[in-house]
Amino acid sequence: MKNFRHILILAVAISVIFITIGKADVPGILKYQGTLTDTLGEPITDGTYFVRFIIWNDSLSTDPANELWNSNIQTYLVLGGLLESTLGESPTPTISSDIFFGTGSLFLGITVGTEPELRPRIKLASAPFAFKAALSDTATVALSVPPNSISLQSLTKSSADSGQVIKWSGSAWVAAPDETSDGDITSVIAGSGLTGGGSSGDILIAIKSSGIISGHISLNAVGSIQIAANAVGLSEMDNNAVGSPQIIDNSITEIDILNEPGLAQGRSATIIPLSKSTMTELTTVSMLTPTSGFVFVQGRVTISLDSTTGSNFAYMQIVVNSTGDTVSGMYSKVGASNYPSSGQYSFNCTAQRTFFLTGGPQTFRLEAKYLSPSGNAEAKAIYPVLTAIFFPTSYGTVTPVAADPNDKPQTNSSANGKSLGADE
């Protein structure tokens, strides 16, 4: 015969389940988990074992009179020495709560196979005695009271008269007036910044005109989270309502400002001879635009024509990419078909264009040429000036004008919800 011993690894008696309340015999269950080892302390061989559990009211007696509950012989699969059982659950008999009523200490005895009962018996912890909660002493009294036998009419008024209630004075229950019965607001007075008020009935309180002043608003009480998008517009602000005293230093940065107009200029302090065969570059202007928008470019120069009494004309234009010749619809023209003499004649010549371009570096060119059938004719450009101004948006339609495909900017675009064109 192989000798066994057991080691308890969890508190025996864990869960109690009540089926009904008010019955003296309420079955429940006890969960048991332990480790079976041999006399050397090694877990017993894995396999199926016959085990009996008995609840005793004595730690040593084997007298059947001391036996309160018996699981009968049950079959268990033991792996790694671990033995688990739910006592009181089928196939074991149910456990009556009566065995926990006034029986003193209880002990769990375990018998494996034909071996003697393992010793010492396990003393049940206090948790299983929660069975008694199924029928507590207080509940026993409560169950003896007939349903609906207690009503407000059956309670004593404790010397309370009409309109009084029973209140706790701090040391005893006493009769006192019901202070909340038939009460009313005696007066509501509108304070600073408010209008309205009254002494009874429905009362209206409102914010009077100009009622909210800086003294009513705590520092940092109003921020972006308190103001809905587009909640404050021109109609909500008086003229000159926001000035430098209302703007904290450094509170407005580049990210808060719509890209503003910018200007760039190129000029030449020289007299430049013009060619009849191709456009001559007079000056350029470059700028770095921060975003898409309009660039208005204007050129100005004094044109000198001389050495012929016959026809002599000059052409001037603003371009991005030079084609060497005039761009249809883009150039300005000065001169005459005949002159009183072959001396020098001066003309003020201007040209302008509007471009819609994407952001980035931009370069614009002012160029000119002359045209005359006379081989002696001459033309000069004196002190040319080219100015470029960037506008991030427009307030109307910019009408595009047909141009040479090699020099035509973008057309039919839009920025900031405005209608945009290419050039004019």
pLDDT for 68-88, tens place per residue?
A: 999 999 999 999 999 999 999
d(CA 405, CA 423): 13
Contacts 24+ apart (CB under 8 A), 55-58: 55/95, 55/99, 55/106, 55/107, 55/108, 55/109, 55/124, 56/106, 56/107, 56/108, 56/109, 56/121, 57/103, 57/104, 57/105, 57/106, 57/107, 58/107
More confident residue, 161 or 391: 391
CB within 8 Å of 391: residues ≥ 6 apart = 261, 293, 294, 295, 296
**Of the ranges 9-18, 141-150, 189-198, 216-225, which is most confident?**
189-198
CA distance 51 to 63: 20
Q: In this predicted structure, what is the pLDDT of residue 139?
A: 56
Compute the distance between CA of residue 65 and CA of residue 122 in angstroms, rounded to an integer: 19
pTM of the predicted structure, to 2 decimals: 0.41
Q: Cβ distance 287 to 394 under 8 Å?
A: no
Helix (H/G/I), strand (E/B), else coil: 253: coil
Percent of the chain's residues with pLDDT above 70:
77
Backbone dihedral region for residue 221 (phi beyond 0: left; psi -120 to 50: alpha; all else: beta): alpha
pLDDT of residue 167: 83
Residue 406 DSSP symbol: G
pLDDT reported for residue 12:
35
Indicate whether 371 pLDDT > 70. yes
Q: Is the pLDDT of residue 317 over 70?
A: yes
In this structure, are residues 301 and 382 in contact, taking their beta carbons and an 8 Å threshold? yes
Q: Which letter does DSSP use for residue 98 in this model?
A: G
CATH numbers and ranges of domains, the chain = 4-138 (2.60.40), 262-419 (2.60.120.1340)
pLDDT over 90 for what percent of the chain? 39
Predicted pLDDT of residue 145: 65
Distance CA 393, CA 406 (A): 25
pLDDT at 368 over 90: yes
Instruction: State the pLDDT confidence band at 41, using cuts at 50, 70 and 90.
Output: confident
